[in-house]
């Protein structure tokens, strides 16, 4: 049956590619890729030979309806991004919305995404959490930080290594130096690191140590650290 498949790809370790993902990428009529060069290397590694079509943030508004029309006409297409699950801080949402509006079936495969292992590894409560993704670079950034500071459950942010120190400085200023947090980088790779501590401790460390790799920042919600201390005191 014609449909759009959303296919997660490894965020680092190629062993995280699922058998189902490999099968779907072999069977569809074509693969929509955020970066055809990167996806081409992934396909070569798994012995997949299929047509690649560029689909990224610069052309998705122009091509979403065309792609949905191709599926409606009988083709099955798969969407992949450079790494992780399509639509999570990556292209995907617009195409999914367009397909749904046109009555085209969409199926999302489960698979790799950076924020889940970072959240679970952080040691912070993960029964409830708020996924922020990337903060605004300029306009509305401080307002957004103030909103996040008032949340009472764990907050998950994406950040680049080049802006990590600046973001930690701002988090420390808005949320306080004693707020607990975790910086996760190079997830699933050989040099994976999950560094836990207060915002002040993390800021001090990364001000002296240049970070590398894509980064997830997990921050305790308002009052979470205080609650854990109360529990320890009563034991």
**How high does pLDDT run on average in the chain?**
94
Integer Cα distance of 92 and 110 in angstroms:
15
Phi, psi of 41, rounded to the nearest 5 degrees: -65, -40
Report the run of H or E that residue 159 belongs to, with start and end.
strand 154-159
pLDDT at site 226:
52
Specify whether domain 4-108 bears CATH 3.90.1150.10: no
**153 C-beta neighbours (distance < 10 Å), count:** 16
Secondary-structure class of domain 115-231 per CATH: alpha beta
Domain ranges across the chain? 4-108, 115-231
Integer Cα distance of 45 and 135 in angstroms:
34
Matching fold, domains 4-108 and 115-231: no
Q: Which of 116, 122, 206, 208 is nearest to 163 (CA)?
A: 206
Contact (CB, 8 A) for 3 and 107: yes
Averaged pLDDT, 184-196: 96
Integer Cα distance of 39 and 59 in angstroms:
17
- Reported confidence tier of residue 23, pLDDT bands at 50, 70, 90: very high
What 3-state DSSP class applies to 5?
Answer: strand
Strand partners, 9: 84
Averaged pLDDT, 84-98: 95
- Reported confidence tier of residue 142, pLDDT bands at 50, 70, 90: very high
| CA atoms within 13 Å, Cβ hemisphere of 42 | 30
């Amino acid at each position: 049956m014609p449909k759009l498949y959303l296919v997660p790809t490894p965020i680092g370790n190629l062993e995280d590619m699922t058998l189902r993902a490999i099968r779907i990428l072999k069977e569809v009529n074509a693969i929509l890729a955020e970066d055809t060069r990167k996806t081409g290397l992934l396909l070569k590694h798994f012995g997949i030979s299929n047509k690649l079509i560029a689909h990224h943030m610069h052309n998705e508004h122009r091509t979403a309806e065309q792609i949905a029309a191709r599926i409606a006409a009988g083709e099955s297409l798969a969407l992949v991004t450079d790494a992780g699950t399509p639509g999570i801080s990556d292209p995907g949402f617009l195409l999914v919305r367009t397909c749904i509006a046109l009555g085209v079936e969409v199926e999302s495969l489960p698979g790799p995404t950076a924020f889940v292992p970072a959240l679970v590894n952080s040691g912070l409560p993960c029964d409830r959490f708020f996924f922020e993704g990337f903060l605004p670079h300029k306009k509305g950034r401080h307002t957004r930080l103030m909103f996040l500071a008032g949340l009472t459950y764990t907050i998950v942010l994406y950040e680049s290594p080049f802006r990590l120190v600046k973001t930690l400085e701002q988090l420390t200023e808005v949320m306080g130096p004693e707020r607990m947090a975790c910086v996760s980088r190079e997830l699933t790779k050989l040099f994976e690191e999950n560094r836990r501590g207060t915002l002040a401790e993390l800021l001090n460390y990364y001000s002296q140590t240049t970070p590398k790799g894509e980064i997830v920042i997990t921050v305790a919600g308002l009052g979470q650290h205080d609650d854990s201390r109360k529990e320890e005191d009563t034991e």
